[in-house]
Amino acid sequence: MASHKPVIGCNSGGLVETIKNGVMVFLCDPSPQEFSLAMSKFIQDPQMAERMGAEARQHVIESFSTKIFGPHSNQILVDIALGKRD
């Protein structure tokens, strides 16, 4: 995603919580048939793949860049060092 590329991923785990299916990624059941179907969509519509890649990159910038994620991570470490708990 950080490389301006759309993603094909398994429809489970942390990925499901951090992305928008059909906007920047295709989430699939973990089967060769599902993954090949998603790949064929990118092959058949390169413009869609490009748009989804741009959306993926923007999502990374807005959610996981060092500018955004860094201060959040730093605060967690400070809280741990000070013994604060949620």
Structure tokens at 10: 């398994």
What is the pTM (predicted TM-score) of this model? 0.70
| pLDDT at residue 71 is higher than 90 | no
Sole residue written with tokens 């059941």 = 29
Residue ranges of domains in the chain? 7-81
Beta-carbon contacts of 48 under 8 Å, excluding residues fewer than 6 positions away, are 41, 42
* Residue-level pLDDT at 70: 76
The CA distance from 61 to 5, in Å, is 13
Q: Mind listing the pLDDT tens digit for each residue in 21-55?
A: 888 888 999 999 999 999 999 999 999 999 999 99
Choose among 79, 32, 23: nearest CA to 51.
23
